[in-house]
């Protein structure tokens, strides 16, 4: 059976930051056990080549390392996307042999902008250029492949981080147009919303080979995503739709119930050479 490509497992809803436009802000109060999470991964591994652990903030989940190990044992390429606050030497050394990629969410290098976005902690920590640069150097030193995710909104539209991206030299730079999802970030979304032409104006980085842009149209119905209860979900017409949990239904049946568009997945660059790309450690 030919496998699909990549799936995102949003295995935890909690986060240590409060980004105001985050579309994963559901707090169901329900959680899977470690055994159930591993079962979800086992089922996903039958159909997908690569898994990305996301949140919330994935490093808040005490089960993250066992999940990454289990996914690797199932033959999957593994990635974590994180805000980076908890990426200490202990985690990096522990995950070194079975985590392939680390993606860092970087919307701005300016502390004031990050504070307005909500990319800060309740203890007052606000990331800046030095924090991100030092973090990416450390990640590369441990041998992980690197990616940067940037969400473009009205708050950071005028900021150009091209020089920083070129300096730290990730393998991929994913740039997203901020996306409205009624159930989670729809309230007061006008303070973040940008038009397609504004998003295009931000993308004046054509000489950066790692740039992978995604506007709202490219994102809708083009991601394979599983939530913290094991349900596939999709962003359709700016609303969330969900399947039954794959703990009680088959993976392919769950996917079919959502109408995820594989062609759109491929068109937005969802499939790339994640196994053969090699980091340049000199930053």
| Residue range 21-30, pLDDT digits in tens | 887 665 566 7
pTM > 0.85: yes
Q: Where are the domains of the chain?
A: 4-147+216-267
Q: How far, rounded to the nearest angstrom, does the alpha carbon of residue 112 sit from its chain's CA centroid?
A: 23
The percent of the chain in helix, strand and coil, each rounded to the nearest 5, is 30, 20, 50
The span from the CA of 12 to the CA of 24, in Å, is 9
216 carries an active-site annotation: no
Q: What is the DSSP letter of 230?
A: S
Among 4, 22, 136, 152, the active-site one is 22
214 sits in which H/E element: strand 211-214
Q: Taking all residues of the chain, what is their mean pLDDT, rounded to a whole number? A: 91
Distance, in Å, from the CA atom of 278 to the CA atom of 99, rounded to the nearest integer, reads 14
Residues of the chain with confidence (pLDDT) below 70: 1-2, 24-29, 183-184, 186, 205-206, 279-283
213-246 burial code (b ≥16 CB/10 A, e <16):
bbbbebbbbbbbbbbbbbbbbbbeeeebebbebb
CA distance 59 to 104: 12
- Residue 24 confidence (pLDDT): 66
Active site (annotated) includes residue 19: yes
CATH 3.20.20.70: does it fit domain 4-147+216-267?
yes
Catalytic residue among 15, 81, 151, 226: 15
Active-site residue, from 7, 12, 17, 19: 19
22 is catalytic: yes
What pLDDT does 197 receive?
95
pLDDT at 163: 93
The packing angle between helices 34-45 and 64-73, to 10°, is 30
């Amino acid at each position: 059976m030919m496998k699909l490509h990549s799936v995102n497992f949003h295995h935890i809803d909690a986060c240590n930051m409060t980004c105001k436009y985050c579309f994963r802000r559901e707090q169901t109060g329900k959680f899977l056990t470690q055994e159930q999470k591993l079962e979800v991964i086992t089922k996903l591994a039958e159909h997908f080549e690569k898994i990305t652990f996301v949140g919330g903030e994935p490093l808040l989940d005490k089960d993250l390392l066992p999940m990454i190990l289990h996914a690797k044992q199932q033959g999957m390429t593994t990635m974590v996307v994180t805000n980076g606050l908890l990426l200490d030497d202990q985690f990096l050394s522990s995950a070194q042999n079975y985590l392939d990629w680390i993606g860092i969410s970087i919307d701005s290098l300016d502390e004031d902008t990050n504070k307005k976005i909500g990319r800060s902690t309740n203890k007052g920590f606000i990331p800046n250029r030095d924090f991100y640069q030092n973090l990416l150097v450390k990640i590369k030193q441990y041998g992980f492949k690197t990616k940067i995710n940037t969400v473009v909104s009205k708050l950071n539209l005028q900021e150009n981080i091209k020089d920083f991206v070129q300096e730290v030299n990730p393998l991929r730079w994913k740039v997203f147009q901020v996306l409205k999802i009624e159930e989670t970030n729809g309230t007061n979304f006008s303070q973040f919303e940008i038009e397609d032409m504004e998003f295009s104006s931000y993308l004046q980085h054509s000489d950066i080979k790692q740039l992978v842009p995604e506007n709202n149209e490219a994102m809708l119905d083009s991601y394979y995503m599983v939530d913290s209860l094991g349900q596939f979900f999709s962003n359709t017409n700016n609303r969330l739709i969900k399947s039954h949990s794959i703990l009680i239904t088959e993976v392919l049946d769950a996917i079919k119930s959502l109408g995820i568009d594989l062609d759109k997945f491929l068109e937005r660059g969802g499939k790339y050479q994640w196994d053969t790309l090699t980091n340049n450690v000199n930053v």
